[in-house]
Structure formats: structure tokens, C-alpha cells
Structure 1
Amino acid sequence: MRYSLLDLLASPDTGAPFVLVGATEAEVPFIGPYGKPGSRVSRPGVAVGPALEGESGAFYTSFLARHETAPDDPERSRQTIVIDGLLVATDTGMWYPIVDTIPELLPPSLRDWQSHHDFLDQVIAPRIPAELVVALRQAVAGVDASGRRGDNHKTSEIGLLDKVEDKANFLAPGLLSPFNPNIYNHPADLIRGFGNCLPFLQLQHGHRVLDSGCGYGWTTEWLMNLGIDAVGIDISRVYPDVGRRRMGPNNQPHLVVGDSENLPFRAGVFDAVLCFDAFHHIPDRPAAMRRYERALKDPGRIVLLEPGGQHETDEVSVNVMDTYGIMEVGMELADVQGYIDGIETFGPARQIFLTPHLSDDPRTSVPISELRDRSYIGWGMFLIEKDAAATVQARSLASVAQAQSATQPTNGLGRLLGRVLKR
């Protein structure tokens, strides 16, 4: 983990900022094309790093403030990587481990509590004051770790390798992802799909993107290589671990283990969210959309690239569900709209088609069935825009149009408002 990631992370249950505790680090210069310095770089070997300026909480005041240290040179965040440590929420003291450079920020019902307690006792405890160790144990003593709806699918993803016999061959594609020298069509489709997403993300150099369900992390890596401050999150660390081996230590984007229904990020830090062939694995998709909305700046946008509505009935999908227990759900535009209904800052969901316009086409419109058949994308591409001001204006115009249509026949103004609302 680079120290700059600390400026983005927050407790997934309360949204409180974290303080880095008991960290070890290594000198690993970052050679990527971007690199925003971290504002809270710990001094080497300290027990408790600096807190976010102006932020505090009950646990911080009671335990962390006594041991907190001043921040080091922000530029050191480009030269140093955090190997392990704890991220401790300033309000409740809920803590999460950083294991082999990747923070694990899963909700209580999905955590491996035995390994996390062992990590605290064996790795972190020798580095920090004894009173803080006791406080950290107490902070999680009464946590509700009971299962939640959809956890069966999530735990299947987290423990995927337990059901795989030939693990090396199963994971081997990730070492070259998205390429596969033995197969042309699938890698070519992935690359084409990624390229199709870029114009609709509307990115500029230095923008920040959340890559939700990043898998092997190649989409996160490519965004980073384009000069984007990219953060990849996946519910299982199986895939990001393979991706790290492919990328090498000096040129890795931010990678986090976490749940898209319980995003561990501060509000309003991302310019866009990309969910590339991953949203259909999420059990509670409306909950994930609400978390995306919170994490996005205003304005911001979400691009989904997903299989079609019949995806869960495909033979391959049925086999995956039966064998591994992973959720496979197809979706169409109406489904995506249903996931965002009630989110006030979102405009209507849109489906994107990239098609040729033939010389004998009607100049007004092409039937949806023909758009699907001709589309170059080969996937369902959906765009959702967060723009609170524009959404309020559109609703106001809609109210005016509705009131007028109720009292008089549609006139020129009504037709104009109708065209505005359809855009």
C-alpha cells in the first residue's frame, strides 16, 4: 500500500478516517506515470501514524492521540510501500489488517477473524504499546459478525481456490491478463470492451477512478498507465495477488480487498467508477449503487460493461454457479434503472451502442433490435451520471410539463420539454 491511499480510505461501516498503526515499510520507488503524494506519511518505525487533520473520534481521543506522530515528507509516499500494519478507525477502533501490501477491508461477516486476531497478536502487538493492543482487542470483542443476505455468494468468491484442484493452471491467465497467447477472441473482446469504456468515463490526466471488481487488476493497471489515479477493489485477494506478480512492485496501482456493497472509501473522492464484467456478481446491486454514489464526486459517472439479460442461463454461467457458488446475473437497461431508482443525484440509466449507420437507414432512428445486432461492443454497456444540479432541474421541468399536460393539450412548450427530458 502506498501512503497516498490512506487519504482515500474510510471505515466501511461508519465512514470515519483511519490511522495507520504498527506499520512496516520498504523502499520501493514508484515508477508509474502519476503519483499524488500522501498527506499522512508515517515516520519509519513509529507505532502510530498521523491522523487526518481536523478529524477525531472517541477511539482516537482515548488511545491513538497519546501515541500519534507528526507526518513525514509527503514525497516519501512515492519511494516507500507499506508492507503490513493496521488501519484503525478513529471513532470505534475497528481495525483492518494490511497484509503483504494489500489492505483487507471486508465487513465483519466476511472476515477471517482467527487469522486477523493472530495477525494482531503475532505481527502487530510487538510493535505497539501494550495498552493499545488491549484497546484494539476490546474494540472488536462485541462486533456482530453474523451472516448477511448474499454472503454465501461472497464467501464462495473469497474461498474460490478451495474448490479448484489445479490452482496453478487456473490462475495462470492472470499472469498475462488480458492477453492469452492460446486464445484470440476472448482477450480481443476484453481489450475492445475496455477501449469502448474510455470515452464514456470522460477522464483527464490525474483523475481518480474506482475499478470495482478489478480481478487480476489489468484494467486498473492500464488506467494507471494512462495517467489516471486508479484504485482497484475486489472481494477476493486471490486475483489481485496474481495481478501483483504480473505488474511487479514498482508499478502497481492501489489495490484493496473489499466489498462493493460496503465500500471503504471517503465520500466524494472519485471522478468515475468502472465496473468491468463484474457488477453481475454482486448480490445486492442497489446497495452497491448507493455506495458508488457516495464515493463519487459531483458530477461523476459510472460505466458498467456487463453480459446480456440471458447471461445466467448460459451453459458456462450455470456451470460456474453450480461448481463455485458465484452469483451470475444478466441485466438489461430496465434492470440497471431499477438498481438506481430512488438515488436522487443520479440521472436516468442509459445503454450505449456503437454501431455503423448504413446508407439506407432511416435518418431518425434505428430499431433497438438492429442496434443490438450491429453493436461493436458485444456487451451491455451502461452509463449512469451523477449530477445533482442537472437532476433537480430535470425533475423541475418534468413537474412543469406534467402540470401543463394535465390542464391543456400539448403545445410547443410541452413538446420542447419532452425533448429536453429525453436527452
Structure 2
Amino acid sequence: MHGLGDVRLFDRMAPLYDLAMPAANGEALAAGLDHATRPIERLLDVGGGSGRAAAALTGPEITVVDVSLGMLARAREVRGLPAVAGDAGRLPFRDASVDAVTVVDAFHHFPGQEAAIREAARVIAPGGVLVVREFDPAHPLGRALVVAEHAIGMASRFREPRDLAAALDDAGFDPRIVDRGFGYTVVGVRA
């Protein structure tokens, strides 16, 4: 899910990650999940790291998926969440086996973003949703974040909301830009 350099960095910072990062925006995630036309009973939090985003949600059975073993250990040990080592571009789940996939503050770390979108489309059942919460590189704070992540050696590739929505459309989702700003939410409803 992260470029190899990013994985090593996340493994090293796993013990301090939750202390440095603000809580995930549970309201924005819930608003995105509300676009589903089926009940959300099983959700994958892809690129979910320590389970920070999963902790902001209530209701569905949530499994955290990440390639950083250090972050997954935090999700299991600190938050008690089911956690699976896996790459966003090759999810270890059956076709149409989940109702939703969330990607929170992590999509820019995926080296194969289109593959990750296709995999989400594959594992989400009809009527389910892909909810991506990301940072807008066109926003002033987003421009600063791009510079900062590149300065510390991350291979981040940020996308503007309309570009991400177009990529979801190309993968067969019905895309919607739910909110905008430094942090934005794009939702894709699975046909």
C-alpha cells in the first residue's frame, strides 16, 4: 500500500503515530458511507495502519488492511481490531465480499492507485461504497503537505478531488465529491 520506503518509515513511527496524528473525521466517513444503497455490515479499512480511522467508526465489522506490520500490530494490540497484512493493489479478499472500503489519509501513499481502485471495486458488493478521505494538493495546506512529505523521502502522489472522482468513474463506480477543503471526501458507489 505504501511505497517500500514509506512502509519502512511507517514501521519505524508506528509506536508514536497515534500520538502525532489527529483523530480521523468520523462524521465525514459516516457521511460517505451513507451513500451506500446496501447495509454496511462488513468494511475494510485499507491503508488503515494503526486503526485510527476504524476507531472513528461504529457499527460494521471492520478489518484493517495494511502492508506495514508495525502499524498492524498497533491496530491489533492497542485497538483490538482484526488486522490483515495486504497490499491495496492485491487485496486478500473474495469478490463482492464486503459492503464498504475506506481509505483514510493513505491513498497518496499507494504506488498503484488505479490498481487499488480496481481492487476495491472487485471486493465491494453491488450497492456498497468506496470512501476515500484525502488531502487536496491544490489547497494551500495541501501544497505544504506535499512539500513536507517529499522532503522526508515519502513517494506520495496526491490527487485533486475531481481527478480522484474521474478515476473512480473509470473503474465503474458512481463517484461523488462529498466535501472539499484541505481534507476532502470522494465516494464511489458500486453499481
Q: Structure 2: state its 5+ residue gaps.
A: none
Partner of residue 227 from structure 1, selected from 59, 63, 85: 59
Q: What do the CA deviations read for 1:240-263 (whole angstroms, capped 9, x no partner)? A: 22333323xxxx222011110111
Higher strand proportion: 2
Q: Structure 1 CA distance, aligned partners of 2:146 and 2:92?
A: 29
For the residues of structure 2 that align with 1:313 and 1:254, how far apart are their CA atoms?
Answer: 31
Measure, in 1, the Cα distance between the counterparts of 2:188 and 2:156. Answer: 22
The change in CA–CA distance for 1:265 and 1:320 in structure 2 (over 3 A counts) is same
Structure with the bigger RCO (C-alpha within 8 Å, sep 6+) is: 2
**Which residue of 1 is the match for residue 41 of structure 2?**
207
Runs ≥4 in structure 1, deviation > 4 angstroms? 203-206
1:317 pairs, out of 126, 146, 166, with 146
User: Partner amino acid for 2:143?
Assistant: D
Residue of 133, 137, 148 corresponding to 1:305: 133
Distance apart, 1:206 and its partner CA: 6.9
CA deviations on 1:361-410 (whole Å, 9 max, x unpaired) are xxxxxxxxxxx5xx6xx4111111112xxxxxxxxxxxxxxxxxxxxxxx
Q: CA deviation at 1:281?
A: 1.0
The root-mean-square deviation of aligned C-alpha atoms, in Å, is 2.9
SS in 2 for 1:199: helix
Residue 263 and residue 171 in structure 1: after superposition, are their counterparts in 2 closer, same or farther (change >3 A)?
closer
- Say whether the 8 Å CA contact 2:66–2:85 is kept in structure 1: yes
Say if 2:75 and 2:82, in contact at 8 Å, map to a contact too: no
**What is the CA distance between 1:229 and its match in structure 2?**
0.8
For residues 341 and 227 of structure 1, do their structure 2 counterparts lie closer, same or farther at Cα, with a shift above 3 Å needed? closer
Say whether residues 1:381 and 2:173 are aligned partners.
Answer: no
Could you say if the C-alpha distance between residues 267 and 171 of structure 1 is closer, same or farther in structure 2, counting changes exceeding 3 Å?
closer
Instruction: Give the Cα separation in 2 of the matches to 1:313 and 1:342.
Output: 25
TM-score by length of 1: 0.40
Percent of pairs with identical residues = 25
Report the number of matched residues: 188
**Partner SS state of residue 187, structure 2:** strand
Q: Deviation string for 1:281-326 (max 9, x for gaps)?
A: 11221111110011000011111110003379734433433433x3
Q: Structure 1: any 5+ residue segments left out of the alignment? A: 1-105, 107-152, 354-371, 388-423
CA offset digits 1:127-180 (Å, max 9, x no partner): xxxxxxxxxxxxxxxxxxxxxxxxxx6211232268xxxx5xx44434xx3xx4
Counterpart contact for 2:10–2:68, Cα < 8 Å: no
What are the equivalent positions in structure 2 for 1:331-350 lying under 5 Å apart? 331-344=159-172, 346-347=173-174, 349-350=175-176
